[in-house]
């Protein structure tokens, strides 16, 4: 079995000696992987990244890089590239000087440094702008400079802390693509921190979802979205209808849930359910059908339309259904007139396989 390139071995972090910000973290990252640490503010994701970078010290446990313990190695000696949210460029330096700074501190100067700087700028699409200063560049260009600076000394590991959060949507999506392209072309390992679920799903080989200092689930994007391990992951990753109920009957992972309003629905449980157990039920809005033709082995319930919002590529329906006042359904814009108005009574349906039954928080 191949040795992980990065390993967190039972790592914990406390700032005050009482409350743990990161709790018993054991995590392996493969060489060449793009791993995203995803979670809300205060979940421990950024602290984890800062411990790997060397800017924070682990309270307990050990961090390994390429098989070697690094807890007691200074940040500048870890040979790790870093891209910050704030760009962290030197305003008095030119673009070339900023990008070349990591080389100068490593004793690489002259033509050797110049050729590396120009190659790094070419990789991020900034060739010809090497004489400008950061104040003369847009936010997107400044972030490209920061990426070039992180790559110029050819590290095997690059850490990125919310690098695109200050950019507008269109530019953010463009740089997402470019970072993924660089990752693929250069074969580097990237550990990326974000609170943006869409960004994480679009960019990552795997995603580690953090909450209260622990990884709740780590998996490839499709599995995280389609098969969340618990209620927090289901609610944090994408839009979700969450119902509360108790197990009415069960056969293996298949079960029937009794909702508070008496409705019985069929679903698939993460763990073997026990009759009478309280559960949360997760249903993605895009998996719900309007006026389904047949029930089959799925679910069909009555609903009342509250309102419809047109959003271009899709329409967002807010319904009263299953005891919720805001049951959400999203329908793709296929050119048909939905002809639904507030107050209309309709039927909605979804497959049992799309009904995820999770432990109640």
Q: Which residues contact 179 (CB under 8 A, 6 or more apart)?
A: 147, 160, 163, 190, 203
Could you give the percent of the chain with pLDDT greater than 70? Answer: 96
Question: What is the residue-averaged pLDDT of the chain?
Answer: 91
User: Domains of the chain: which residue ranges?
Assistant: 6-231, 239-359
Residues paired with residue 300 on neighbouring β-strands, in sequence order:
349
Could you give the percent of the chain with pLDDT greater than 90? Answer: 75
Residue 1: is its pLDDT beyond 90?
no
Q: CATH for 6-231?
A: 3.40.50.300
Residue 341: is its pLDDT beyond 80?
no
DSSP secondary structure of 104-125:
HTTT--HHHHHHHHHHHHHHTT
Dist. CA 287–CA 329, nearest whole Å: 8
Strand order of the β-sheet with 314-321 is 289-290, 345-350, 299-310, 314-321, 324-332
77 three-class SS: helix
Tens digits of per-residue pLDDT, 287-305? 999 888 755 558 999 999 9
Tens digits of per-residue pLDDT, 196-244? 999 999 999 999 999 999 999 999 999 999 999 999 999 999 889 999 9
Q: In the prediction, which pLDDT does 311 show? A: 84
| Encoded tokens for 10 | 């039972």
Q: In the prediction, which pLDDT does 294 show? A: 59
Residues in the chain: 361
Dist. CA 291–CA 211, nearest whole Å: 38
- Can you list the positions of beta strands (E) in 57-96? 60-65, 68-69, 80-83
Q: Which residues contact 159 (CB under 8 A, 6 or more apart)?
A: 49, 52, 53, 80, 81, 82, 83, 190, 191, 192, 193
Residue 265: is its pLDDT beyond 60?
yes
Q: In the prediction, which pLDDT does 75 show? A: 92
Q: Compute the average pLDDT of residues 45-72.
A: 97
Tens digits of per-residue pLDDT, 121-158? 999 999 999 999 999 999 889 999 999 999 999 899 99
Q: In the prediction, which pLDDT does 98 show? A: 93
| Encoded tokens for 320 | 């009263």
239-359: what fold? Answer: OB fold (Dihydrolipoamide Acetyltransferase, E2P) (2.40.50)
Q: In the prediction, which pLDDT does 292 show? A: 84
Return the closest-CA partner of residue 283 out of 340, 321, 332, 336: 321
Name the pTM for this structure. 0.90
């Amino acid at each position: 079995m191949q040795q992980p390139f990065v390993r967190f071995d039972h790592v914990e972090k406390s700032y005050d000696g009482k409350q743990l910000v990161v709790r018993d973290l054991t995590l392996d990252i493969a060489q060449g992987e793009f791993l995203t640490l995803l979670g809300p503010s205060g979940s421990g994701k950024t602290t984890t990244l800062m411990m790997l970078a060397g800017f924070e010290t682990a309270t307990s446990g050990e961090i390994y890089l390429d098989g070697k313990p690094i807890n007691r190695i200074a940040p500048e000696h870890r040979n790790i590239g870093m891209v910050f949210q704030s760009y962290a460029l030197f305003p008095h330096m030119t673009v070339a000087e900023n990008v070349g700074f990591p080389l100068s501190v490593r004793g690489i100067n002259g033509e050797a440094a110049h050729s590396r700087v120009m190659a790094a700028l070419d990789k991020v699409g900034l060739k010809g702008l090497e004489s400008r200063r950061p104040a003369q560049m847009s936010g997107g260009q400044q972030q490209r400079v920061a990426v070039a600076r992180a790559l110029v000394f050819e590290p095997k590991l690059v850490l990125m802390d919310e690098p695109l959060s200050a950019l507008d949507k269109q530019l953010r999506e463009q740089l997402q693509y470019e970072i993924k392209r660089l990752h693929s072309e250069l074969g580097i390992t990237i550990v990326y921190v974000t609170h943006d679920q869409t960004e994480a799903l679009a960019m990552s080989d795997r995603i580690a979802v953090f909450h209260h200092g622990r990884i709740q689930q780590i998996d490839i994007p499709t599995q995280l979205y389609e098969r969340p391990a618990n209620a927090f992951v289901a609610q944090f990753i994408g839009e979700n209808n969450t119902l509360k109920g108790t197990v009415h009957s069960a056969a293996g992972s298949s079960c029937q849930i009794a909702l508070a309003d008496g409705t019985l629905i069929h679903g698939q449980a993460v763990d073997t359910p026990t009759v009478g157990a309280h559960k949360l039920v997760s249903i993605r809005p895009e998996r719900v059908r309007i006026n389904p033709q047949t029930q089959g082995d799925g679910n069909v319930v009555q609903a009342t339309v509250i309102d419809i919002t047109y959003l271009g590529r899709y329409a967002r329906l807010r319904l009263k259904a299953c005891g919720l006042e805001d049951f959400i359904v999203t329908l793709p814009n296929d050119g048909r007139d939905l002809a639904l108005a507030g107050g209309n009574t309709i039927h909605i349906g979804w497959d049992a396989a799309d009904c995820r039954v999770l432990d109640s928080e």
